[in-house]
């Protein structure tokens, strides 16, 4: 039985996460990188998403352009799973991203040991996030049911979320 390759689009502004990810992805036979993007607003982003199973995006791109272009792509292509690479652990950024439709969150330090496993899990329908993040999500959704927890601390995510 031949397994279908997982098709991935890489999106990065600074290249640090992309370089680390590209090296790992190129060595994995079950993964095919279909595009590398430095912007989510162009025609190329829409074409790449139409061919992809996973969008692997780093925080630096969100810092530059805000979350809105990613949100538009994710709502247009709900079958594409998004994995966000954060520069460092930030609970509020990770929670907010998950509530916006991102399927997984990793830090740059976790790329080498966990990237392939995280991709495999999110393609299988799982959410990839540290266990410590899931408790506040469950608690807040039960209490408020509107995802307002992340909005309580906008100063922690303001550098890449454009508030409208």
For range 12-19, the mean pLDDT: 74
How far, in Å, CA of 120 to CA of 151, rounded?
Answer: 30
What is the Cβ-side half-sphere exposure of residue 12, based on CA atoms within 13 angstroms? 21
- For residues 92 and 136, the model is more confident at 92
Average pLDDT over residues 64-77: 88
Percent of the chain predicted with pLDDT > 70: 79
Q: Please give the Cα distance from 60 to 116 (Å, whole number).
A: 21
| pTM, 2 dp | 0.80
68: left (phi over 0), alpha (psi -120 to 50) or beta: alpha
Among 83-87, 109-113, 130-134, the least confident range: 130-134
Mean pLDDT, rounded, of the chain: 82
């Amino acid at each position: 039985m031949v397994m279908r390759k997982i098709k991935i689009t890489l999106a990065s502004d600074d290249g640090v996460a992309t370089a680390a990810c590209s090296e790992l992805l190129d060595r994995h036979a079950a993964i095919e990188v279909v595009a590398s993007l430095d912007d989510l607003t162009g025609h190329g982003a829409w074409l790449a998403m139409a061919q992809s199973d996973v969008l692997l995006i780093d925080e630096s791109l969100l810092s530059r352009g805000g979350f809105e272009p990613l949100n538009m792509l994710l709502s247009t292509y709900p079958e594409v799973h998004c994995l966000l690479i954060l520069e460092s652990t930030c609970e509020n950024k990770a929670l907010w991203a998950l509530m916006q439709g991102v399927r997984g969150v990793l830090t740059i330090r976790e790329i080498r040991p966990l990237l392939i496993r995280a991709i495999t899990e999110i393609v299988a329908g799982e959410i990839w996030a540290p266990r410590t993040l899931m408790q506040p999500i469950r608690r807040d959704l039960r209490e408020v049911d509107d995802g307002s927890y992340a909005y309580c601390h906008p100063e922690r995510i303001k550098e890449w979320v454009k508030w409208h």
